[in-house]
Amino acid sequence: MKLQNYALGQWIDGQGEGKPLYNAISGDVIATASSAGLDFGEMLNYGRTEGSKALRKMTFHERGRMIKELALYLLERKELFYKTSYQTGATKVDSWIDIEGGIGNLFAYSSLRRQFPDETYYVDGDHIPLSKKGSFIGHHIMVPKQGVAVHINAFNFPIWGMLEKTAVNWLAGVPAVVKPATITSYLTEVMVREIDKSGILPPGALQLICGSANGILDHVESQDIVTFTGSASTGKMLKAHPRLLEEAVPFNMEADSLNCSILGADATPGTPEFDMFIKAVRNEMTVKCGQKCTAIRRIMVPEHLVEDVQIALGSQLAKTVIGDPQVEGVRMGSLAGKSQVDEVRSKVEQLAQEQRIVYGDLDNFDVTGANKEKGAFISPILMVNDNPFTNTAVHEVEAFGPVSTIMPYKNLDEAVELARMGKGSLVCSMVTSDDELAREFTLEAATHHGRILILNRDCERESTGHGSPMPMLTHGGPGRAGGGEEMGGKRGVMHYLQRTAIQGSPTTISRITNVYQPGAHQNVTDVHVFRKHFEELNIGDTVITAKHTVSDADIVNFANVSGDNFYAHMDATSLEGTIFEQRVAHGYFVLSKAAGLFVDAKKGPVLLNYGLDECRFTKPVYPGMTIGVRFTVKEKIGQEKRSEDDIAKGIVKFLVDVYDETGETVALATILTMVKKLDQN
């Protein structure tokens, strides 16, 4: 079978015989892959002109719903992906991480749409006053870049590696060209075929290169984004490409790193923390046969516990059955290919010059249900380095397989220093029930790690573990880990958006952003805004309410109702040394009275009060002062119907500007209301 590339909206054969791809378990050739003949420049241009154009026209909410539809479609076909995944040497658990973990990223980023407006762009932060009288302000908007995200991925996660990135760029409104590692690209191809069959993505939103992508960076432009996951050496080579420098193309690098896990001094044998530490290290050594960029490579333990950890961990590793993942009882499959076996063997031999192997053998181990000589099998290898400050290869050489090294530390300072000697990692973990220890370690070590997990009995049951990057948390790390950042919820989406500062009058900026800015023109309407349906409301529509003069009785009555008898409200003799001139009205009374002034009580399109986003009390309100409200439509956010019977509605944000008899603002708040739509379809 010859893999095809998905380019320019069609499936294309690469020229020539192509590179043979092997079943990692049996060693049989299962496909060949070639990208020869593809015009990478034309592919990128197709993404910019077709994919970008279509995605940029969609709002964040529309893109999110598109991603959700795709996730549901792929989840229904997951067994097809599992069947192919076994050929990569992955067990069912390994495949679950890759397949359902990847699809889970689609679901996560689909849900993230609710944190963005139902617009094609994003308004970032608050307005910035730039003049004394408020007629000139600044703001920031973020729009999708008009380029293509070029994703160069590693071999270990053929599906997750693609979906964890494309979920983010699609939500942002940017198309992608995906280049999986050729050795396992046959699994990526299976999924992309299903994505193509679904017809859910617009043309140009996704393209696939199964063979070599050598030369693609020659065609990138300033609006493109390049991401890389893989070895640090390859990443550095790509990062230095002249075209990236000439065009100032953003390059995000997530490199394999020497991640570590630290056993806290309190986690002695017999404690739950000791047991969970052993379990965590074993899992990180054996899941995906140790082929994870987040796997634990360095195991740091108090010096008096080295032997205990060695014995306990060796005992657990001895229970790991190696072999064909489809055979019952097999706990660890194979590496992705024979070339990986040679690479890992070479690195183990290099490390063994400075430290000793205490469990495992590169040559003598048993394999269940498969031929050890034909498949890409390897034994877990556990090593001990007694002098990690002197024998430092362990902090520089990574064997990308089921290989890890135990090393001792005397005190917390040494543990921190050893963690730092990896020169930057994707993840570091500490197992301890001592929160002060956890705090001190985290604050000292955080500079060198992209993520830190503190594991103990309180969170063990629900913890996702050392090696699991989460969609809403950033994934990346400093130094050796590449210095990049991806995923991370809204943070990740913003990597694909251009932030632009805008300046002008409040009215103009309100029109550009479709969010009312303080000081902008207000459209005072005779029809109360609570009498209008969602579609009938316009940004800037304003109600000027009746006024109310605050009295001592108001303050006393509110104190009785609320139970808030704070001295500044109730004891005029206690105000010396405060900012108050006399007893002051409760801030929440001011807000509550404002609601009484701006609310239209009759039944209408407003369904309910949805919440309060912001509230500030900017000036004391004393008895005898008169307050009124300027009540303005600030922003509108459409909502999707959850079912046919659901009411079509949207969220309307109102600016509540409470002012006194001098016209000066005394309180500001943003309230959210749920408003019915005229169109119930």
pLDDT at residue number 441: 94
Four-residue CA torsion sign, 515, 520, 522, 528: positive
Residue-wise pLDDT tens digits, 405-426: 999 999 999 999 999 999 999 9
pLDDT in tens, 26-70: 889 998 998 888 999 999 999 999 999 999 999 999 999 999 999
Indicate if the pLDDT at residue 681 is higher than 80: no
Both tokens assigned to 198 = 């679904």
Q: What is the DSSP string of 353-384?
A: TTSEEEE--SS----BSS-TTTTT----EEEE
Q: Note the pLDDT of residue 261.
A: 96
Q: Summarize pLDDT for 492-506 with one digit per residue, the tens.
A: 999 999 999 999 999
What CA–CA distance (Å, rounded) separates 444 from 412?
10
Mind listing the domains of the chain with CATH numbers? 4-254+491-498 (3.40.605.10), 260-468 (3.40.309.10), 522-676 (3.10.129.10)
pLDDT at residue 484 in the model: 87
Exactly one of 100, 254, 273, 354 is catalytic; name it.
254
Residue 136 burial by CB count (10 A; 0-12/13-18/19+): exposed, middle or buried? Answer: middle
Q: How confident is the model at residue 382 (pLDDT cuts 50, 70, 90)?
A: very high
pLDDT > 80? residue 288:
yes
Q: What is the pLDDT of residue 219?
A: 95
Distance CA 473, CA 451 (A): 9
Distance from CA of residue 472 to its chain's centroid?
4
Tell me if residue 396 is catalytic: no
Where residue 384 falls among pLDDT bands split at 50, 70, 90? very high
Q: Average pLDDT for residues 545-573, to the nearest whole number?
A: 91
Angle between helices 272-286 and 306-317 (to 10 degrees): 50
Nearest residue to 206 (alpha-carbon basis) of 195, 190, 218, 217: 195
CA distance 654 to 670: 6
| pLDDT computed for residue 75 by the predictor | 95
Say how far apart CA 563 and CA 570 lie, in whole Å: 11
CA distance 503 to 498: 16
Most confident of 151-165, 192-206, 565-579: 192-206
Alpha carbons 231 and 27: distance in angstroms, whole number: 24
Looking at the predicted structure, is the pLDDT value of residue 17 above 90?
A: no
Residue 542 φ/ψ region, left for φ over 0, alpha for ψ in the -120 to 50 degree band, beta for the rest: beta
Greater confidence (478 vs 231) lies with 478
Look at residue 33 and give its three-state secondary structure: strand
680 confidence band (pLDDT: 50, 70, 90): confident
What is residue 592's predicted lDDT score, i.e. its pLDDT? 92
Q: What is the pLDDT of residue 661?
A: 93
Instruction: Determine the Cα–Cα distance for residues 195 and 74; give it in Å rounded to an integer.
Output: 8
Tokens, residue 93: 């658990």
Backbone angles phi, psi at 80, to 5 degrees: -60, -40
DSSP string, 619-632: S---TT-EEEEEEE
Please tell me what DSSP assigns to residue 399: -
Selecting among 210, 260, 293, 428, the annotated active-site residue is 293
Which of 676, 666, 675 has the alpha carbon at shortest distance from 634?
675
Token readout for 564 is 């808030």
How far apart, in whole angstroms, are the C-alpha atoms of residue 567 and residue 546? 30
The whole-chain average pLDDT of the chain stands at: 92
**pLDDT attached to residue 306:** 95
pLDDT attached to residue 9 = 93
pLDDT at residue 378 in the model: 92
> Average pLDDT for residues 565-571, to the nearest whole number?
88
Does residue 497 contact residue 639 with C-beta atoms inside 8 Å?
no
Cα torsion 436, 439, 441, 443: sign: negative
CA count, 13 A, side-chain hemisphere, 117: 18
pLDDT of amino acid 256 = 82
For 423-455, the pLDDT digits (tens) are 999 999 999 999 999 999 999 999 999 999 999
Q: What one-character-per-residue DSSP string does 535-575 give?
A: GG--TTEEEE---EE--HHHHHHHHHHH----HHHH-GGG-
Is 254 catalytic? The answer is yes
At residue 171's C-alpha, the angle toward residues 177 and 46, to 5°, is: 30
pLDDT in tens, 516-536: 998 899 999 888 999 999 998
Look at the block and give the residue holding tokens 């192509």. Answer: 18
Q: Which letter does DSSP use for residue 202 in this model?
A: P
Q: Look at residue 309 in the predicted model and tell me its pLDDT.
A: 95
Q: How confident is the model at residue 235 (pLDDT cuts 50, 70, 90)?
A: confident
**Which residues of 28-183 form beta strands (DSSP E)?**
29-33, 122-123, 128-129, 137-144, 149-152, 176-179
Q: Which stretch of DSSP H or E encloses residue 302?
A: strand 298-302
How many C-beta atoms lie closer than 10 Å to residue 186's C-beta? 23
Statement: residue 614 has pLDDT above 80: yes
* pLDDT tens profile 112-128: 998 999 999 999 988 99
